[in-house]
Amino acid sequence: MISPEIRIPRFDAYERVMHWMSALSFVYAALTGLAIWSPKLYWLAALSGGGFVIRGTHPWAGVIFTAVMGWMFARWAKTMGLDADDRVWLGKMEKYATHKHDELPESGRFNAGQKMLFWSQVLTALGLLGSGVVLWFPESAPRTLRLAAIALHPLAAIGSIAGIIVHVYMGVAAVPQSMRAMLRGYVVPEWARFHHAKWYREWRDANTLQKP
Amino acid sequence: MLVAKLIDTTLCIGCKACEVACQEWNDQEYTLGTFDGSYQTMADLAPNFWNLIKFNEIEKDGGTSWLMSKYQCMHCADAGCIAACPAPGAIVQLANGTVDFAHDNCIGCGYCITGCPFDIPRLSPKTKKVYKCSLCSDRTAVGLEPACIKTCPTNCLTFGERDEMLRVAEAKTVELRADGHKDAGIYNPAGVGGTNVIYVLKDAKAPESYGLPRDPTIPWTVQLWKGPMKWLGSFAFIGAVLGTFFHYVIYGPQDPELHGHKDEEAPHD
């Protein structure tokens, strides 16, 4: 048996702060963005001082979010590269969703789904940043660019928010103990072996916890 | 009843009295411009300058002549600014066709600037809100004509019931054609559902020479955003929420005890 008292460090304090900074700025930008996106959701603006206020604050939340995304990219981009196992995993994603873990290849520190979320968020963040800057200064950008941005910004946001809804579900409900990993930074060996077997073995081999 | 402002460009003498009347009635602060070799007052519209008589210079028969145009909000029936505006109640269309900005509701995003095919609204750096011609809605509401109409000394500008203005415009183009201006016509672009500011042009085949767009429309990206993309987004958001919820209901959380690799030996620590 694995002793449940053993704690494997999963996210250090930098990564936790980074993740939650991106999460908070994202939620703020998403709620204020939704208010501007549809008149039916305009009441969301009242949560943060009304339409005139969020027109000023939304872009800054976006700036913070993309800056943190840049930090995240610098820190995680290498780890997020897909290996051969990940490609097989992606082809069998429905096995993951239906809990047929025996039929899936083992994952490293992040599984292929997490990696895809990362890359999709990088892509949409670039789209949101580019179009967002154009929309921020309507009298400085050429009209053609602004017209493109009016469609691109919500399109990127839809992709981004839909991905984050699934991400939040995974973290809060679908994968027990993952929330603790991101809040307190550690996981237990059983969790690590089940979800990230390759990463678990790396940790095990690097530590003294060998087979007796 | 729709109203309209009729601009008969053939009668404009470039006196700019309408510009002054507009500034006076709307209590706009006068901003000193620069002389750049043109009789035009200002180079462009501004948040506090809603009506610019443009002296469009053209070379014709070996000489230079002017095509006057009154650069201002066209008060479109299908207004690009309204289509693009995300703030409920910030741009309203009155029963008489006037497109008016309600500044209490304006959030200053500037989407109207992008949505407008005539490039009219201007963002004020001071108030961070957007301004343009109101068709003197505060005057028309009490039965007065707009300030520019009131002051025009040549009858170049007239104001009244829209159908009547179209009849007057039509009669004028017939007259102009009889005088040899065979391309004379009315500028009332269909792409924006017609406008409540209507021009009589000597050469309606070349509205660009007056600085007027040939075929103004509501931009398709704005329509995409306000139309299909709303559906796409609702589908994605509601789908993601319901999809994950029912995933939990059907499959539940991942549990190493239930779903682990049964055939693999348990790790020893």
- pLDDT tens digit string along B52-96? 999 998 888 888 888 999 999 999 999 999 999 999 999 999 999
Q: What is residue B262's predicted lDDT score, i.e. its pLDDT?
A: 47
Q: Is the pLDDT of residue B34 over 90?
A: no
**Please, which pLDDT band fits residue B29 given cuts at 50, 70 and 90?**
confident
Q: What is the reported pLDDT for A208?
A: 64
Tokens of residue A80, six digits: 């997020």
- Rounded mean pLDDT of B188-216? 95
Q: What residue segments make up the domains of chain A, in order of their start?
A: 10-206
Total domains, chain B: 2
**Residue B267 falls within a domain, yes or no?**
no
In a domain, B241, yes or no: yes
Cβ–Cβ < 8 Å for B72, B50: yes
Same domain, B251 and B205: no
| Residues B20 and B153 placed together within one structural domain of the fold | yes
Query: What is d(CA B240, CA B245) in angstroms, rounded to the nearest whole number?
Result: 8
| Average of per-residue pLDDT across A46-69 | 97
Query: Within this chain, do residues B16 and B98 fall inside the same structural domain, yes or no?
Result: yes
Give percent above pLDDT 90 in chain B: 84
Decide if A191 and B239 are in contact by the 8 Å CB cutoff: no
Please give the torsion angle defined by the CA atoms of residues A190, A193, A199 and A200, in that order, rounded to the nearest 10 degrees. 50
Of the ranges A177-181, B100-104, B255-259, which one carries the lowest mean pLDDT score?
B255-259
CB A125 within 8 A of CB A65: yes
> What pLDDT score was predicted for residue B171?
97
Percent of chain A whose pLDDT exceeds 90 = 92
Cβ-based contacts of A189 with chain B (< 8 Å): 267, 269
State both tokens at A122: 């990088």
User: Are B165 and B248 found together in one domain?
Assistant: no
Residues on chain B touching A188 (C-beta within 8 angstroms): none
Q: Are residues B207 and B243 in the same domain?
A: no
B264 is a domain residue:
no
CA distance B18 to chain A (A): 26
**B99 and B177 share one domain:** yes
- Ramachandran sector of residue B78 (left: φ over 0; alpha: ψ -120 to 50; beta: rest): beta
Distance CA B8, CA A203 (A): 83
pLDDT, tens only, B136-161: 999 999 999 999 999 999 999 999 99
User: CB-based contact (8 Å) between A161 and chain B?
Assistant: yes
Same structural domain, B75 and B139 = yes
- Nearest Cα neighbor of A151 from B83, B239, B220 is B220
Residue B269 lies in a domain: no
Q: How far apart are CA B175 and CA B156, in angstroms?
A: 15
Of A171, A177, A185, A196, whose CA–CA distance to A12 is shortest? A185
- Architecture per CATH, domain A10-206, reads as Up-down Bundle (1.20)
Claim to verify: residue B85 and residue B198 sit in the same structural domain? yes
Domain assignment of residue B227, given as a range:
223-259
Could you report the predicted ipTM of this complex, rounded to two decimals?
0.91
Residue B265 within any structural domain of the chain: no
Mean pLDDT, range B14-40, rounded to an integer: 91
B54 and B167 in a single domain? The answer is: yes
Q: Which of B109, B259, B267 sits opposite A55 (nearest CB)?
A: B109
pLDDT of residue A3: 61
Structure confidence by residue, pLDDT tens digits, A26-41: 999 999 999 999 999 9
| From A148, A175, A189, residue closest to B269, measured CB to CB | A189
Q: Which residues of B touch A166 (CB under 8 A)?
A: 240, 243-244
A75 close to A12: Cβ distance less than 8 angstroms: no
Q: Which of these, A142, A3, A105, lies nearest to B119 by C-alpha position?
A: A142
Q: What pLDDT is attached to residue B85? A: 97
User: B70 with B193, same domain?
Assistant: yes
- pLDDT of the residue at A163: 98
CATH of the domain at B148: 3.30.70.20
Is the model's pLDDT at A126 over the cut of 80? yes
Residue B247 to residue A174, Cβ atoms within 8 A: yes
Buried b (16+ CB within 10 A) or exposed e, B53-92: bbbbeeeeeeeeebbbbbbbbbbbbbbbbbbbbbbeebbe
> Which range (A56-70, B52-66, B132-146, B186-200) has the least confidence?
B52-66
Q: Is pLDDT larger for residue A210 or for residue B244?
A: B244
Tokens of B240: 């993601």
